[in-house]
Amino acid sequence: MEIYDLAADGLRGLNASLHALKGTTNQTAWQVKNPKGAHAIAAGIDAPIDVTVLGSTGYYCAGMNKQATVRIKGSAGPGVAENMMSGTVIIDGDASQYAGATGRGGLLVIKGNASSRCGISMKGIEIVVHGNIGHMSAFMAQSGSLVVLGDAGEALGDSLYEARLFVRGSVKSLGADCIEKEMRPEHIALLADLLKRGEADHLARPEEFRRYGSARKLYTFNIDNAAAY
Supply the DSSP string of 24-61, one letter for each residue: S-S--EEEEE--TT-SSTTTT-BSS-EEEE-S-B-TTT
Please give the pLDDT value at position 25: 75
Could you give the number of structural domains in the chain? Answer: 1
Q: Which residues of the chain carry a pLDDT beneath 50?
A: none
pLDDT digits (tens, 9 = 90+) for 195-223: 999 999 999 999 999 999 999 888 766 66
Q: Which pLDDT score, from 0 to 100, does residue 54 have?
A: 98
Q: What is the CATH classification number for the domain harbouring 92?
A: 2.160.20.60
d(CA 75, CA 92): 7
pLDDT at 218: 82
Give the three-class secondary structure for 191: helix
In a domain, 228, yes or no: no
Per-residue pLDDT, 26: 82
Q: 154-180 pLDDT, tens per residue? A: 999 999 999 999 999 999 999 999 999
Range of the structural domain that residue 49 is part of = 2-219
**Residue 164 in domain:** yes
Q: CA 171, 147, 40, 33 torsion: positive or negative?
A: positive
